[in-house]
């Protein structure tokens, strides 16, 4: 059996062992007298019979050739390898490292995957593996095909029994979003679990690659990763060296929530030349009060809310005229789907955020 392992930085697939089947002790290549005509019977063989054909001499060889103890015409090798390789890869063991640093090994690429975050669902589709998803949490709505997936609860309240009923060969969970007990509960049921939590934009391509490998879609995942890297590099080149803008990023209003410097959203801010005024808080998504925001006096306030509509509470900041962001008119909204989700579309949100901060610079 072939074994495939994700090596090094999590982005390269290496074959660890592909053993050639025995060809007979006395085998040696036969020089062709003329190009042989492929036998139509080979296409009708089962996989087991084809392996036997490769290993111990062709059942279509002449009696004289069979007595040659495994003599095999090398003309056939390209045809046979092309026939067998997809079957070998489809049954190959895969091992990748998740974002907790755990080695996750599957006996074969996953065919029944359950996603426990909308961002994870979206990323599997981006990696070319959407058809292998059999379940997802609420709000998994992109691409549109994701809406048809069976639901297994909310990201913050997953239904473990519903997950088990789907008979997944892989469950992918969100480290900071799913309940802390989720991993242990799933593993007690004997389920394979991969934990996902990118914290920097540079980690997103590796996520695409690993998802592709886990689902047997390594080529598709690699292509999506390359596209993300190219787009990220273009944005970085465009906005590097821009004057910094102090930003308060507001996730929600009641309680008032923001992000610290370790959150992926803060990395988006850095990409655009923004400085998170609450970067030093210890919690990943801390709660803050109005007084703390007034004391920080950000030059811009950016909010996401729950969906594509600007939340009414964002404009409540207009009454605080002492805030620089209010005086300058730098209160911006970005749809949550393209900024709060750690998925490839976060670069759509990054583009909008960079443009907003460039607008704020123009008002100085």
| 238: phi then psi, degrees, rounded to nearest 5 | -70, -35
Report the greatest alpha carbon distance in the chain.
97
Give the whole-angstrom CA distance, residue 330 versus residue 361: 10
Give the whole-angstrom CA distance, residue 322 versus residue 207: 43
The architecture in CATH of the region 97-228 reads 3-Layer(aba) Sandwich (3.40)
* The pLDDT value given to residue 17: 37
Containing H/E element for 301?
A: strand 300-303
Burial class (CB in 10 A: 0-12, 13-18, 19+), 177: buried
Give the whole-angstrom CA distance, residue 161 versus residue 143: 26
Rg of the Cα atoms in the chain: 27
| Residue 137: closest CA among 124, 255, 129 | 124
pLDDT at 274 over 90: yes
pLDDT at 25 over 60: no
pLDDT tens for residues 307-336?
788 999 999 999 999 999 999 999 999 999
Please state, in angstroms and as integers, the Cα–Cα distance from residue 234 to each residue in 187, 221, 263, 273, 359, following that order: 41, 20, 22, 14, 19
Give the whole-angstrom CA distance, residue 172 versus residue 193: 6
Containing H/E element for 7?
A: strand 3-7
Which residue shows structure tokens 């008979």? Answer: 167
Percent of the chain with pLDDT over 70: 75
Containing H/E element for 358?
A: helix 346-361
Give the whole-angstrom CA distance, residue 199 versus residue 262: 7
Tokens representing 137 are 């949490």
Q: What is the DSSP string of 55-75?
A: HH--TTS-HHHHTTTS---GG
Give the whole-angstrom CA distance, residue 308 versus residue 336: 7
pLDDT tens for residues 349-360?
999 999 999 999
Q: Do domains 97-228 and 243-361 have the same CATH topology?
A: yes
- pTM of this structure: 0.75
Label residue 31 by pLDDT band (50, 70, 90). Answer: very low
Tokens representing 168 are 């997944």
Label residue 79 by pLDDT band (50, 70, 90). Answer: low
Q: How far apart are the first and last CA of the chain?
A: 64
Give the whole-angstrom CA distance, residue 217 versus residue 230: 20
pLDDT tens for residues 119-154?
999 999 999 999 999 999 999 999 999 999 999 999
Tokens representing 46 are 């089962």
Q: Under a CB-based contact definition with an 8 Å cutoff, are residues 349 and 335 in contact?
A: yes
| 131: phi then psi, degrees, rounded to nearest 5 | -70, -15
Q: Which class is 243-361 in CATH?
A: alpha beta
Rounded mean pLDDT, 252-264: 96
Give ∠ CA 19-20-22 in degrees, rounded to 5: 125
Pairing of strands 113-115, 133-136: parallel
Domain range summary for the chain, segments of one domain joined by +? 3-90, 97-228, 243-361
């Amino acid at each position: 059996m072939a074994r495939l392992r994700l090596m090094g930085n999590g982005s390269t697939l290496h074959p660890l062992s592909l053993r050639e089947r025995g060809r007979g002790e006395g085998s040696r290549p036969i020089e062709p007298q003329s190009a042989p005509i492929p036998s139509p019977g080979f296409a009708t063989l089962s996989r087991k019979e084809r392996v036997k054909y490769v290993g111990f001499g062709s059942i279509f060889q002449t009696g004289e050739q069979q007595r040659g103890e495994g003599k095999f015409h090398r003309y056939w090798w390209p045809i046979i390898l092309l026939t067998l390789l997809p079957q070998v890869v489809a049954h190959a063991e895969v091992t990748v490292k998740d974002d907790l640093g755990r080695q996750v090994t599957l006996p074969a690429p996953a065919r029944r995957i359950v996603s426990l975050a909308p961002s994870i669902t979206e990323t599997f589709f981006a990696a070319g593996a959407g058809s292998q998803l059999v379940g997802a949490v609420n709000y998994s709505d992109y691409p549109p095909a994701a809406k048809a997936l069976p639901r297994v609860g909310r990201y913050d309240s997953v239904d473990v029994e519903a997950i088990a009923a789907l008979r997944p060969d892989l469950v992918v969970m969100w480290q900071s979003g799913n309940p802390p007990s989720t991993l242990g509960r799933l593993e007690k049921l004997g389920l394979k679990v991969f934990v996902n939590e990118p914290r920097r934009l540079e980690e997103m391509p590796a996520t695409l690659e690993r998802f592709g490998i886990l689902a047997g879609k390594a080529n598709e995942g690699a292509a999506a990763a390359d596209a993300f890297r190219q787009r990220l590099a273009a944005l970085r080149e465009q906005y590097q060296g821009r004057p910094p803008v102090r930003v308060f990023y507001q996730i929600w209003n009641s309680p008032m929530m923001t992000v610290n410097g370790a959150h992926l959203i803060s990395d988006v801010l850095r990409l655009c030349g923004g400085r998170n005024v609450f970067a030093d808080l210890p919690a990943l998504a801390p709660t803050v009060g109005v007084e703390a925001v007034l004391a920080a006096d950000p030059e811009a306030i950016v909010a996401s809310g729950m969906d594509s509509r600007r939340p009414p509470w964002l404009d409540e900041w207009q009454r605080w005229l002492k805030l620089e962001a209010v005086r300058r008119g730098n209160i911006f909204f970005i749809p949550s789907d393209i900024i709060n989700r750690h998925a490839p579309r976060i670069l759509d949100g990054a583009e909008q955020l960079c443009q907003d901060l460039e607008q704020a610079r123009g008002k100085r």
